[in-house]
Amino acid sequence: MRPEEGVLTSRSRALGAVLELLTDELVVVCNGFPSREVYALRDRPENFYMIGSMGLASAIGLGVALAQPRRKVVVLDGDGNVLMAMGTLATVGALKPRNFVHIVFDNEVYGSTGNQPTLSQTVRLEQVAKATGYKNVERVRELDDTVYEAKTMLKEDGPSFLLVKVSELAEDVGRVGIEPAAMTERFRKAAMGGHAS
């Protein structure tokens, strides 16, 4: 903890608060513990868990947002994931999908693999997003600010980027308990409004 900044919320609490705001949004979650925590907190057919491939949640979410312009698409990402796929920020900023909401839970570590520090302590990821052309960009560290900004971004036209500073604490949760093929099929149906492709 950095002494001047006070105690940070855990990612699980911040995730839980954001998940409570959701109705029919399509959600893509990055690999590692964020997917596990979302699965444990609020699994739903509209969730796609990117199990394994680091960095790709944002690109998948972008593809879904472009394919389903009338649905809001929310990407729940990690700082390490964003750093690995920084180019995707540029693609989002250039294409400007209005239905794209990118929420990054920034614990400043590769938490899923043992808390190795990332560069997000010094590189302001929300400023990178702003520079690429994201329309709404905010950085928060309090739970009530997280809820306020997430609620606003779910309503307004994007692309939006919310950086939420969270603590390194990860919940002791199990793996995502649905096979990738079954998860993909149920997500596809949910994305198509219940009609299988």
Ligand X SMILES: Cc1ncc(C[n+]2csc(CCOP(=O)(O)OP(=O)(O)O)c2C)c(N)n1
Residues near ligand X (CB under 6 A): 30-34, 52, 54, 78-81, 107, 109-113, 118
Rounded CA separation 146/42 (Å):
18
Instruction: CB nearer to Mg ion: give 12 or 107.
Output: 107
* Residues 6 or more apart in contact with residue 62 via CB below 8 angstroms: 73, 88, 91, 92, 95, 97, 100
Rounded CA separation 97/131 (Å):
16
3-class secondary-structure state, position 57: helix
- How near is the Cβ of 155 to ligand X at its closest, in Å? 26
- How near is the Cβ of 147 to ligand X at its closest, in Å? 20
**Quick check: 78 binds Mg ion (CB under 5 A)?**
yes
Instruction: CB nearer to ligand X: give 32 or 71.
Output: 32
Span 94-123, contacts to Mg ion by CB under 5 A:
107, 111
**Quick check: 149 binds Mg ion (CB under 5 A)?**
no
Rounded CA separation 196/24 (Å):
17
Q: Which H helix or E strand runs over 78?
A: strand 73-78
Q: Could you tell which of ligand X, Mg ion, none binds residue 31, using a CB distance below 5 to 8 A set by kind?
A: ligand X
- How near is the Cβ of 32 to Mg ion at its closest, in Å? 8
Whether the CB-CB separation of 99 and 74 falls below 8 Å is answered with no
Instruction: CB nearer to ligand X: give 55 or 191.
Output: 55
CA 121 to each of CA 124, 175, 193: distance values in angstroms, whole numbers, following the listed order: 7, 28, 40
- How near is the Cβ of 197 to ligand X at its closest, in Å? 28
Q: Where does this chain bind Mg ion (CB under 5 A)?
A: 78-80, 107, 111
